[in-house]
Amino acid sequence: MHIKGKVAIITGGAGALGQAMARALLEKEAKVSIFDIHADRGAEIESSLQSQFGGDKVSFSLCDVTDEKGFKEAFDGVVARYGQVDIMVNNAAVINEKIDIDKMLMVNLGGTIRGSNLAIKHMRKDEGGEGGVVVNVSSITGLEPIFTVPAYTATKTGVVGFTRSWATNPYLKDLGLRFCLVCPTAFKSFTIPDPTSNALYVEDMKKLYGKGGFEDAKDIAASVNDLLEDDDSNGTIIHTCPEGQNRRVKIEATDEST
CA 154 – CA 149 distance, rounded (Å): 9
Catalytic residue among 152, 171, 201, 209: 152
pLDDT score for 83: 96
pLDDT score for 116: 98
Which value, to the nearest 10 degrees, does the dihedral of the CA atoms of residues 223, 225, 228, 234 take? 0
pLDDT score for 196: 59
pLDDT score for 250: 53
pLDDT score for 27: 98
Tell me the pLDDT tens digit for each residue of 66-90. Answer: 999 999 999 999 999 999 999 999 9
Cα angle 240-242-244, degrees, rounded to a multiple of 5: 110
Whole-angstrom Cα Rg for the chain: 17
pLDDT score for 162: 97
Low-confidence ranges of the chain (pLDDT < 50): 191, 246-247, 249, 253-258
Give catalytic status of residue 152 as yes or no. Answer: yes
pLDDT score for 98: 81
pLDDT score for 146: 86
pLDDT score for 203: 74
Pick the CATH number of 7-252 from 3.40.50.11720, 2.40.10.340, 3.40.50.720, 3.40.250.10: 3.40.50.720
**Global confidence as pTM:** 0.90
CA 165 – CA 169 distance, rounded (Å): 7
CA 239 – CA 248 distance, rounded (Å): 6
Long-range contacts of residues 66-72, Cβ cutoff 8 Å, at least 24 apart: 66/103, 66/106, 66/107, 66/110, 66/111, 68/114, 71/35, 71/111, 71/114, 71/115, 71/118, 72/118
CA 151 – CA 137 distance, rounded (Å): 16
Cα angle 198-205-225, degrees, rounded to a multiple of 5: 80
pLDDT score for 68: 97
Print the SS3 string covering the chain. CCCCCCEEEEECCCCHHHHHHHHHHHHCCCEEEEEECCHHHHHHHHHHHHHHHCCCCEEEEECCCCCHHHHHHHHHHHHHHHCCCCEEEECCCCCCCCCCHHHHHHHHHHHHHHHHHHHHHHHCHHHCCCCEEEEEECCHHHCCCCCCCHHHHHHHHHHHHHHHHHHCCCCHHHHCEEEEEEEECCCCCCCCCCHHHHCCCHHHHHHHHHHHCCCCHHHHHHHHHHHHHCCCCCCEEEEECCCCCCCCEEEECCCCCC
Which value, to the nearest 10 degrees, does the dihedral of the CA atoms of residues 75, 85, 158, 60 take? -50
